[in-house]
Amino acid sequence: FICIRKQWILIAAILFWVAYVFVHSMQSVLIDRYTVPVIWLTLFITAYGIKSAWQVACQYTGKLAANCILVPAVIIALIWIIQLWPAVSKTADVCPASRTAVYAGLLLLGVFFIAKYFLLTPQHRLRDIGIFICFGLFIVSNQFALAFRLGKGDTDIEFKQLAAWYTQHCKHGEKLATTMSTVVSLFLPSEQKPYIIHTSGIPGQNLMEFAEVCKRSKIAYVAWDSRLGLVPNDFYYKSWGLAKIHPLGSGKDVGPFKFIQKIEASQRRYLYLYRLDPSLLPNP
């Protein structure tokens, strides 16, 4: 309360943060990307809180008491960095490109620290060293999440291959339905993007009703993917009604859908491509 009183902008930011977190915590499914819009705000409030707490501690107890808090924290951070550092090189097996982010981040941090220390008048040396070490811990510890997030660049690569297939084989105006329409569209020229349709936007209670809507919407191709097709209990599987195209997971001709080919990224990640044959649908 001492830190935020009369800080109306900060109070407004905290109220927004609380409301955002409350609304999203009430959802039936929580995904890490939902937190992305407020991560910066969380860090800002946290940093401001640490800074204000430090100022309050210095004001009421003097620098000695504040340093008694800073020194153990810096020692713990330094020990943590030393323990984590040997594992940093091993992240190259998961993501070869991400390891350089650690070295670049530490290098920039070191340059900033040296520039501040030698070019500007150092007034709070112990505090600056503590901040430098703590930021170093942030950079090193973040490497592990970063490496697993980036991987080797092959995340959802089967949909990139699907985009390449569409560009090479489909005529202008032929539509393709897939659960990752946004990803596929990223790799297509602008004139082809409107013809990539999300599967969830095609109604129907079963495969035949789905096929009828595809016929009316002039959707020529459907891509069944193992990413969601093999997890019937997944939230998106249910909310997008993917049970209606479950038969397409067979990898062979099904009703009016003619199997074309399999696009495989790994043993568990692959696509089955189908072409709709309207002549095999019953006449209305």
CB atoms within 10 A of CB 119: 8
3-state secondary structure of 224: strand
And the tokens for 217? Answer: 């919407």
- Degrees to nearest 5, angle at CA 166 with 151 and 269: 35
Q: What is the pLDDT of residue 202?
A: 93
Rounded Cα–Cα distance for residues 166 and 174 (Å): 9
Report the DSSP beta bridge partners of residue 276. Answer: 257
And the tokens for 54? Answer: 């430090």
Q: What is the pLDDT of residue 2?
A: 47
Rounded Cα–Cα distance for residues 273 and 258 (Å): 8
And the tokens for 227? Answer: 């990413």
Q: What is the pTM of this model?
A: 0.68
Measured between alpha carbons, how far is residue 203 from residues 20, 60, 153, 241 in Å? 32, 66, 33, 8
- Degrees to nearest 5, angle at CA 187 with 186 and 193: 65
Strands 219-225 and 270-276: antiparallel
Sequential pLDDT tens for the chain (284 residues): 545 566 777 777 788 888 888 887 776 566 667 777 777 778 787 877 777 777 777 777 766 666 777 788 888 888 988 988 888 888 878 887 777 888 888 899 888 888 877 776 666 677 778 888 888 888 888 888 888 877 777 888 999 999 999 999 998 899 999 999 999 999 999 999 999 999 999 998 999 999 999 999 999 999 999 999 999 998 889 888 899 999 999 999 999 999 999 999 988 999 999 999 999 888 76
Q: What is the pLDDT of residue 198?
A: 95
Q: What is the pLDDT of residue 284?
A: 64
Provide the strand spans (E) within 202-256: 219-225
Strands 270-276 and 196-198: unpaired
Report the DSSP beta bridge partners of residue 69. Answer: none
DSSP 254: B
